[in-house]
Amino acid sequence: MLMNKKVRVLKKSLAISAFFSYFLSALGLANLPADNAVPGGVAVVPLSDISEQLPNILFGQKKVLAYTVDGTWFAIVGLPQDILPGKYLITVNWSEESQYRRSFRVHPLSAIKEQRTIVLPDHLQNISVNPLSMEEQIIESNEPYNGQPSVETDFNFQQLVTSGSYIPYGRILRSKNSSELIDHPWVTYLTRPEEIIRSPGRGIVQQIYLSESSGISVVIDHGNGLKSVLNHIRETILKPGENIETGDPVGITTPLEDTDFGRADWFLILNETLIDPLQFTTSS
């Protein structure tokens, strides 16, 4: 009886989702990300302005992605993991003479996500969960590509690997006896050694570099200030300036020492802010 009720609820949820997708598509908004104004998410703020001119939008001192659908502009604001719920402002500049502010609200995480604590299993408690510092010594670096991507940002992404498990974006505990929550504003994949890592979205390879702690890193520019950084790659044949499509091979995972796992990390950066990559994937 309970199972039948769950199935009915699931079917209803899928039907609502399908209708919502059809509705957005009919309006020409299918490429817009869903409004997810929570820590680690994105706030989609309509500007109610119809113009061919690109607006300059700021959230504090950070430039915000401006996205247009049929001449109507939207601000896509990346929200950091530590942002507090409340009302915030963006500044919209059309010219030196035309400037205004638009407000939006950041909501708290749902009770399920807020109360969920990710505890690492015993055999992974020594895994490094420290983010890669961009100030680390770069042993070998390719000249970055500074051109503009020739693709339109569409916010449709896929997982880096086709099998295995992952540590999601959020906060984790090393063990059940630990009391310290560690920020983990990216996704760590644990899969078979030398598993193929695939591009989460289309774009241009902006830079490839090597560091002692994270192996080979590949930076993919998806356009409009949206970038992926893929870490812990063992081998890659890509070069800066190459076009890459969703699902194209990027490299293979780095084996984790003293385990049977391979590892890959996915950072998603929207205008200098680390956001949750999985909010844009079609499945988890």
Residue pLDDT, tens place only, 221-244: 998 889 999 999 988 989 999 999
Whether the per-residue pLDDT at 97 is higher than 80: the answer is no
**pLDDT of 145:** 59
Show the domain range for 31: 23-106
Say what percent of the chain tops pLDDT 90.
Answer: 42
Q: Which residue has the tokens 């902006």?
A: 206
Q: Which residue has the tokens 């993991």?
A: 81
Q: 64 forms bridges with which residues in the sheet?
A: 57
**pLDDT of 154:** 80
**pLDDT of 98:** 81
**CA 107 centroid distance within chain:** 19
Q: Tell whether 9 is covered by a domain.
A: no
Do 262 and 145 share a structural domain?
A: yes
Burial (0-12, 13-18, 19+ Cβ within 10 Å), 173: middle
Q: How confident is the model at residue 165 (pLDDT cuts 50, 70, 90)?
A: confident
Whether the per-residue pLDDT at 147 is higher than 60: the answer is no
Whether the per-residue pLDDT at 274 is higher than 70: the answer is yes
How many structural domains compose the chain?
2
Do 97 and 182 share a structural domain?
A: no
Burial (0-12, 13-18, 19+ Cβ within 10 Å), 115: exposed
**pLDDT of 128:** 66
Contacts of 19 (CB under 8 A, 6+ apart): none
**pLDDT of 280:** 93
Do 121 and 101 share a structural domain?
A: no
Q: Which residue has the higher pLDDT, 99 or 145?
A: 99
Closest CA to 269 of 203, 214, 212, 216: 203
Mean pLDDT value of segment 31-54: 87
Mean pLDDT value of segment 257-263: 81
CB 267 within 8 A of CB 229: yes
Q: Could you give the C-alpha distances from 247 to 151, 160, 161, in angstroms and in order?
A: 15, 8, 9
Last residue of a domain, one of 45, 80, 106: 106
Q: Tell whether 5 is covered by a domain.
A: no
Q: Which residue has the higher pLDDT, 89 or 170?
A: 89
Q: Tell whether 16 is covered by a domain.
A: no
DSSP labels for 142-202?
Answer: PPPP-S--SS-----B--S-SSSEEEPSEEEESSTT----EEE-SEEEEESTTPEEE-SS-
* Host H or E run for residue 66: strand 62-69
**pLDDT of 7:** 34
Quote the tokens at residue 10: 């699931």
Mean pLDDT value of segment 172-192: 80
Write the pLDDT tens digit of every residue in 4-24.
433 343 344 334 334 434 444
Q: Tell whether 61 is covered by a domain.
A: yes
Last residue of a domain, one of 82, 106, 130: 106
Q: How confident is the model at residue 31 (pLDDT cuts 50, 70, 90)?
A: confident
Q: Which residue has the higher pLDDT, 131 or 275?
A: 275
Mean pLDDT value of segment 206-215: 85
Whether the per-residue pLDDT at 58 is higher than 90: the answer is yes
Last residue of a domain, one of 106, 130, 158: 106
**pLDDT of 284:** 47
Do 262 and 129 share a structural domain?
A: yes
User: What is the C-alpha to C-alpha distance for residues 79 and 111, in angstroms, rounded to an integer?
Assistant: 19
**pLDDT of 1:** 41
Q: What is the CATH number of the domain that holds 85?
A: 2.60.40.1590
Whether the per-residue pLDDT at 116 is higher than 60: the answer is no
Q: 92 forms bridges with which residues in the sheet?
A: 57, 100
**pLDDT of 257:** 75
